[in-house]
Amino acid sequence: MKVCRTISEMVSFVSDVKINGSIVGFVPTMGALHDGHIDIVKRCVRENDITVVSLFVNPIQFNNNEDLLKYPRTESEDLSLLLNAGCSAVFIPSVEEMYPDEETMIYDLGGLGDVMEGACRPGHFNGVAVVCHKLFNIVDPDRAYFGEKDFQQLAIIRYMVKDLGLNIEIVPHPIVRNESGLAMSSRNARLGKLDLQAASFIYQVLLVGSKLANMGKVASEIEDCCKDMFNLNPYFDLDYFEIADSNTLKSTSTLDNARFFVAAYIGGVRLIDNKYVMDRLQMQ
C-alpha cells in the first residue's frame, strides 16, 4: 500500500496505474476509521482495480474550532486497517499542501446546502464541495464512494459532479450501524459509556417514525411525535428533526420518497442520522 503525502506523489501514482487501464475507486474520509468506513473501502476494493483512500481532516468544513481541535486523529491505526482491507494507496496531505493560499472558492449548491446541516453549520457544505473537488482533481477517480450516513453531503456531491460535468460515478453506500442501531461515526469515540448506550435512542426514534408512517399517520403528526420523544429524553438536545424529500431535501408532507433527518447533541457531541421513511424491511 502506497502512502502519498504530497499532491505530486498522488498524481503520479494514479497516472502510472491508469496507463494500463486500471479502474480507480476513491473513498474520501477524515480518518479515525471505523467499521463503517472499512465496509465502504472493502466494497471499493471489490468493485475497482485500484482503491485510493484519503485521510484529511478538512479545516474549512468546520464552523466550530473546538470541534476541529477535538476531531480524533488515529493515523497509524487507520493505516493498518486500510492495509488489511486491501487498499492500494492512501493520500494523507497536510493542510498546507491542500490549501497553500486562503481558500476563496464559492460553490452554488442549488439550495441543497441551505437546509438542515447547511442551516446549522454555515459554510460547512462549501468546505465539503471545495475539498471534494480538489481531491477529485488530484485522485482522478472513475468512481467515488460516499456513505448515506451523510445523506445531505451525498446529495450535494452528486449535484456538484453533475453541475461541473465531472466524469466520476458517485456510488452511495448504506448506513453501517452497530448492534444497537447507532450509526457508526468517528464522533462516537468521544462519547462516554452511558452516552454511547443512550445514543442508540436516535435509531429507535427513526424506527418509531417509520412505524407511524406505515400506520397511516401524516408527516406533521410523525414529526411532532418524534420531536417529543427527543425533548422528553434528558440525554438529548435536539438540533433538528425533519421529514424531507430524498432528492430535493426540502421539507415535505408526502412520505413516498421522504427521509427522516436528525441532528442532536448528546454529552456535548453532535450526532446525525437519517432513514428512508417507508422502509418496511427494517420494521421487524
Q: Which amino acids are annotated catalytic?
A: 37
Q: Is 126 in the site for ligand AMP (CB under 6 A)?
A: no
- Least gap, CB of 277 to ligand AMP (angstroms): 19
> Is the Cβ of residue 15 or residue 70 nearer to ligand AMP in the bound state?
70
Using CA atoms, how far apart are residues 248 and 246, in angstroms rounded to an integer?
6
Q: Is 274 in the site for ligand AMP (CB under 6 A)?
A: no
Displacement of CA 142 from its chain's centroid (Å): 19
- Least gap, CB of 132 to ligand AMP (angstroms): 10
Are residues 283 and 260 in contact, defined by beta-carbon separation less than 8 angstroms?
A: no
> x-or-dash pattern for ligand AMP, window 201-220, by CB under 6 A?
--------------------
How many other C-beta atoms lie within 10 A of the C-beta of residue 182?
A: 21
Residues binding ligand AMP: number (CB under 6 A): 16
Q: Is 7 in the site for ligand AMP (CB under 6 A)?
A: no
- Least gap, CB of 2 to ligand AMP (angstroms): 20
Are residues 129 and 106 in contact, defined by beta-carbon separation less than 8 angstroms?
A: no
Name which of residues 162 to 191 contact ligand AMP (CB under 6 A).
Answer: 173, 175-176, 183-186
Q: Which of 144, 199, 191 is nearest to 172 (CA)?
A: 144
- Least gap, CB of 187 to ligand AMP (angstroms): 8
Are residues 125 and 7 in contact, defined by beta-carbon separation less than 8 angstroms?
A: no
Are residues 167 and 143 in contact, defined by beta-carbon separation less than 8 angstroms?
A: no
| Run of H or E residues at 117 | helix 117-120
DSSP three-state, residue 203:
helix
39 Cβ contact partners less than 8 Å away, ≥ 6 residues apart? 173, 176
Using CA atoms, how far apart are residues 257 and 253, in angstroms rounded to an integer?
10
Q: Which residue has the cell 446529495?
A: 155
Are residues 270 and 187 in contact, defined by beta-carbon separation less than 8 angstroms?
A: yes
Which residue stretch of 5-13, 106-114, 147-155, 163-171 sits at the interface with ligand AMP (rule: CB under 6 A)? 147-155
The three-point CA angle 267-187-232 to 5° equals 35
Q: Is 146 in the site for ligand AMP (CB under 6 A)?
A: yes
From candidates 78, 117, 150, 242, binder to ligand AMP by CB under 6 A? 150
> Is the Cβ of residue 36 or residue 209 nearer to ligand AMP in the bound state?
36
Name which of residues 29 to 88 contact ligand AMP (CB under 6 A).
Answer: 29-30, 36-37, 40
> Is the Cβ of residue 247 or residue 253 nearer to ligand AMP in the bound state?
247
- Least gap, CB of 282 to ligand AMP (angstroms): 14
> Is the Cβ of residue 107 or residue 146 nearer to ligand AMP in the bound state?
146
> Is the Cβ of residue 31 or residue 223 nearer to ligand AMP in the bound state?
31
Q: Cell for 99? A: 490549501
Q: Which residues bind ligand AMP (CB under 6 A)?
A: 29-30, 36-37, 40, 146-147, 149-150, 173, 175-176, 183-186
